[in-house]
Chains A and B, each alone.
Chain A
Amino acid sequence: MARIRTTVDGLVYEDDVEPRMLLVQYLRERLGKTGTVIGCDTSNCGACTVHLDGLSVKSCSVLAVQANGSEVLTVEGLERDGQLHPVQQAFHDNHALQCGYCTPGMIMQSIDLLGDNPDPSEHEVREGIEGNLCRCTGYQNIVRAVQDAAQKMKPGAHASTSSSAAQPVAGGGA
């Protein structure tokens, strides 16, 4: 067992974990953060995507012990004062989800993408979310949603949606 201390969605946790425990297992099984899900065992699907110190990672490819001392942001930590993150809002507005299983990972990856590239072309969005699989939507509305969010998150865009975007946690950046 190894002792780890992490901040997840703004709360500090201290736990003893098995060295082999994956971050996604820690989130789901120990912290009850079941908003983050598992879709594969080969790091292909991206369903488990979270932010680790501001960068998107597939939490099935990170050990819990590697998150020691780090900040983790999951889909459950995006809302601010009952206000959806602009990317969450855009997913809703553009019907970018059906079953919703890929959605948490897709949203976290999209936020990371917009942190790197605030105004991506369709092609850049498609490349940017390539590591996240969706079986339901055919991706078209996801691409629309990401581009829609990009517009709404631009400086000077409508204040009510840009407020949470201004949070540092919302950005990626590599």
Chain B
Amino acid sequence: MTTTENPTNAPAPEIGRDRRRKEDRRLITGRTRWTDNQAITGLLHLSIVRSPFAHAEIQGIDTSAAKQVPGVVGVYTAADIGADAVQLPCAWPITKDMKAPQRPALAGSRVNFAGEGVAVVVARSAAIAKDAAELVEVDYAELEPVLDMEDALKDGATLVHPEIGTNANAQWVFDSGEAGSGGSVAEALSAAEKDDDQVVIHRRFRQQRLVPVFMEPRSTVVDPTGEQLVMWSSTQVPHILKTMLALTLGLPENKLRVIAPDVGGGFGGKIAVAPEEVVTLLVARKLGKPVKWTETRSESLLTAHHGRDQIQDLTIAVTKDGIIKGLDVKLLADMGAYLGLVGPGVPILGAFMFNAIYKIPAYRFDCTNVFTTKTLTDAYRGAGRPEATFGIERMMDEVAVELGIEPMELRRKNWIKHEEFPYTTVSTLTYDTGNYEAATDQALQMFDYDGLRREQQERRQRGDVKQLGIGISTFTEMCGLAPSRVLGSLDYGAGGWETASIRMLPTGKAEVVVGVSPHGQGHETAFSQIVADKLGIAFEDVEILHGDTQSSYRGLDTYGSRSLAVGGIAMVKAAEKVIEKAKPIAAHMLEASEDDLEFTGGKFTVKGTDKGVGIADVALAVFAAHDYPEGIEPDIDAHATFDPENFSFPHGTHLCAVEVDTETGFVHLHKYVCVDDVGTVINPLIVEGQVHGGLAQGIAQALFEEAPYDESGTLLSGTLVDYTLPSAADLISFDTANTATPSTTNPLGVKGVGEAGTIASTPAVVNAVLDAVRQYGVKDIDMPTTPFRVWTAINSAKGTAGRGDEADVASPGAGLGSTASDISKGDTQGGHL
């Protein structure tokens, strides 16, 4: 490699290169550091006794039999270790009057969801702990479960937390009329009702409950034997966890060290201060011994936080030729039994995204968060934005059907044109860059949109058993969380900055300590590429250190597609400082004036000459420190914090074709194309991988996954047998591509990619499924659109619409078979692009 063999030559740029990952070697050979691998002499194991009931009073706990088991060190109820007095933190009080009931680390007198911990067993081995946990006798008096959000808000409803007097957690409202960023929706809707040239369309969509299902079950090891108590945890947020443990438990923060070693996936599911982490810590401190807790998959599905779960009521006013005049959004969001770390704020992240890529003159968002006796909900990949994107992109297709307008054409009529950027939206965000036309044109071409529409028509006319459906999602998202001042204005409990430190080693290599930590994203590779370019050193010579609060003492961790768009910029700033600090020393070494120096390709040179010294030479010079200028420190290490001034706004066009077997209801993915604009791409291989994985999760919401509860409040998808993650056989190969309008709000021009695929894909798939079966009179199908649901929808629609052969198979282009009868066919625009 030229960069290492010939360090005096400028290395080829790393940014944009499809580097294979540094991380891989360990992972493909089994040399890993998962938390559960941790083995310490004298390590004890913890098992948690959990409630089988959704809502019950605890009348007594008998631990005597469990305590008799050989190898059991202790059996503790909440009161024994003070776990009932703990208030696990919620960092996002979205309104001043938000109701935040106490969330204990173990339930004291009442359990509020099935799976809540009520006691713990500590033993020599995990097997003994589990056996003994079975012997703990808990006497429960069952209470009514609270399961339905609308019922929960009715007068006289059973209260999850009687002490707060309501099941409503908070109501959060944005109104563009009041904010001054647009008109009044109430006025827009009433004007539309009176106007013959406008229609008002209302739809209700259900965002089902999902489980993140990171493949590595959560695990925590706490070692209290050193001066600093050490917690290893499978977490996305070691820094937040450390600070929150200190605040929650009243421990001095300087006595805590948190390590996130190798973490096997997170997807938002490991953004938490988990009760199990707190309990493990409490028990370890009590015993003065290291203690490990590792969950089973069933425990994980039951108790690690869930995501989504909203009822969405959307009302849109639109002219008959397809121009949106106003959008009203009412949400009910299920918090579950307690508030998670950022749970109440998750639906609020969607408040800024329902208007999506469209120019909407009036907008209102009104969300009520509701407590139920279910597992709590919190961030899951996309957090609030997939829900919003689903709502608006489903609605766009509904509008297209109602008006008989080709669905892409409808979107084109309403989206922000590329020459209109920067554009301030009705929800007050300023989109810096984007080009929806470019991404869409490329996607349509890759997809062969017209060809597939033709095939769809042909299958319809033939009355094919397998009908084709085509779905669109033109999405944007806000990521790179987040400008600290914006978070402050939203009452979030922390900032959104990120930090990086660069330590220049005497041999010319660099250690880069970062505040964000990965769980599959490839940080070590992508960040090395950035730093290598900025410092002009070899990719291999950069080491990325993360996930240990002892080395990385300052950081706000990984979520919201922020690692690159915020953390990456901190690295750029730190590198600039290294160069700034090295400059006077280089000038001294070259006996030149600083003003005459330029830095390129890792080397300071005197302008107009071939005299120069490399950054490695300077690093060695300050290590020896025999000869350096007066008045400065012999040190070129640097630390930088970057607080973004704006979010970044990736966008893209996703097109999905499905084949629906009208006899079985089975949905087969036929083709999936997406063109995403994520700004500057650091590593195309990693970007593509992030999109693939994101698509799989979004498609899984559309087709496969849900976490339903029965009428007694028992989770029905408590194992991987019932919670049906897609396998390789359930998915197809996706055609992905990128367009790029670099972000103008950060020096790399990056936007973030971690959540894009998940946010965009769900509505594309559901729109496609409906597009295939609307011809039979089907209006909607709840997610996941399983064969049973699709079959039922087709058959019941046929039943109500009369005979199947009366289906409208001749509708124009879009195949939008069920155009509403009150819309004049004269408005139909034909459907071909």
Binding site for B on A (CB under 8 A): 18, 20, 28, 32-42, 44-45, 47, 74-76, 78-79, 84, 88, 91-93, 95, 97-104, 107, 122, 125-127, 129-143
Contact = CB atoms under 8 A, between A and B. Distances in A.
Contact of A95 (B20, B32, B725): B20
B297 A95 contact: no
Contacts of A79: 29
30 contacts: A34-B37, A36-B30, A39-B215, A39-B297, A41-B297, A42-B298, A78-B29, A84-B28, A92-B20, A92-B21, A95-B20, A95-B685, A95-B688, A97-B28, A99-B520, A100-B264, A126-B728, A129-B727, A130-B727, A133-B720, A133-B727, A134-B728, A135-B267, A135-B697, A136-B215, A136-B689, A139-B728, A140-B734, A141-B692, A142-B728
A75 B28 contact: yes
A86 to B, nearest CB: 12
Contact of B29 (A41, A88, A126, A131): A88
B732 to A, nearest CB: 9
Interface in B680-699: 685-686, 688-689, 692-697
Nearest to A143: B728
A99 B264 CA distance: 5
Interface in B214-272: 214-217, 262-265, 267
Contacts of B216: 37, 39, 99, 101
B521 to A, nearest CB: 7
Nearest to B265: A99
A91 B27 CA distance: 10
Nearest to A104: B30
A102 B32 CA distance: 12
Interface residues of B toward A: which range? 35 or more
A129 B726 CA distance: 12
Contact of A40 (B29, B688, B720): B720
A133 B217 CA distance: 13
B296 interface: yes
B29 A35 contact: yes
Nearest to B125: A29
Contacts of B725: 133, 135
Contacts, number: 174
A52 B105 CA distance: 42
A143 B689 CA distance: 13
A103 B727 contact: no
A95 B23 CA distance: 11
A101 B30 contact: no
Given A92-B25, A100-B28, A143-B733, 18 more contacts: A34-B37, A36-B30, A40-B720, A42-B720, A44-B720, A75-B29, A75-B30, A95-B686, A98-B265, A98-B689, A101-B216, A126-B727, A126-B731, A130-B729, A135-B697, A138-B694, A138-B696, A141-B692
A149 to B, nearest CB: 12
Contacts of B215: 39, 45, 47, 99, 101-102, 133-136
Contacts of B688: 95, 141
Contacts of B21: 92, 95
B310 to A, nearest CB: 22
Interface of B: 20-21, 23-32, 34, 36-37, 39, 127, 213-217, 262-265, 267, 296-298, 519-522, 685-686, 688-689, 692-697, 719-721, 725, 727-729, 731, 733-734, 757
A81 B731 CA distance: 37
B703 to A, nearest CB: 13
A137 B520 CA distance: 9
B719 A44 contact: yes
Most buried by A among B21, B262, B298, B720: B720
Nearest to B694: A138
Given A45-B297, A141-B692, A98 B29 contact: no
B28 A88 contact: yes
A97 B24 contact: yes
B521 A35 contact: no
Contact of B721 (A39, A44, A78): A44
B34 A32 contact: no
A139 B25 CA distance: 19
A40 B297 contact: yes
A4 B812 CA distance: 71
Contact of A84 (B29, B36, B721): B29
B719 A41 contact: yes
Contacts of A107: 28
B728 A91 contact: no
A40 B294 CA distance: 12
A174 to B, nearest CB: 18
A1 to B, nearest CB: 13
Contact of B30 (A34, A97, A134): A34
A139 B696 contact: yes
Contacts of B521: 98
A100 B32 contact: yes
Contacts of B694: 138
Nearest to A123: B729
B723 to A, nearest CB: 9
B25 A125 contact: no
A96 to B, nearest CB: 9
A45 B720 CA distance: 8
Contacts of B264: 37, 99-101
- Give 5 nearest A-B pairs by CB, closest first: A35-B30, A100-B27, A99-B520, A101-B264, A138-B696
A28 to B, nearest CB: 8
A91 B731 CA distance: 19
Given A98-B521, A102-B215, A76 B734 contact: no
Nearest to A97: B27
Nearest to B33: A34
Interface centre among A35, A100, A140 (most CB of B within 10 A): A100
A47 B733 CA distance: 22
Contacts of A141: 688-689, 692
Contacts of A88: 28-29
A52 B264 CA distance: 25
A140 B214 CA distance: 18
Contacts of A20: 127
Nearest to B731: A139
Contacts of B37: 28, 34
Nearest to A40: B297
Query: Which residue, B39, B213, B217, has most C-beta atoms of chain A within 10 A?
Result: B217
Contact of A98 (B20, B34, B39, B520): B520
Contact of A137 (B36, B39, B263, B689): B689
A88 B30 CA distance: 11
Given A41-B298, A45-B720, A122 B733 contact: yes
| Interface hub of B27, B31, B217, B521 (most chain A Cβ within 10 A) | B27
Contacts of B695: 138
Given A84-B28, A143-B728, A101 B265 contact: yes
Contacts of B720: 40, 42, 44-45, 133
A88 to B, nearest CB: 4
A143 B732 CA distance: 10
A99 B519 contact: yes
A41 B722 CA distance: 12
B559 to A, nearest CB: 15
A103 B28 contact: yes
Contact of A138 (B263, B297, B692): B692
A163 B26 CA distance: 21
A161 to B, nearest CB: 14
A131 B720 CA distance: 11
Given A92-B25, A95-B688, A136-B265, A125 B728 contact: yes
A39 B216 CA distance: 6
A58 B21 CA distance: 28
Contacts of A132: 727-728
A98 B21 CA distance: 9
Nearest to B525: A95
A135 B265 contact: yes
User: Residue among A76, A97, A98, A127 with the most chain B CB within 10 A?
Assistant: A98
A91 B728 CA distance: 15
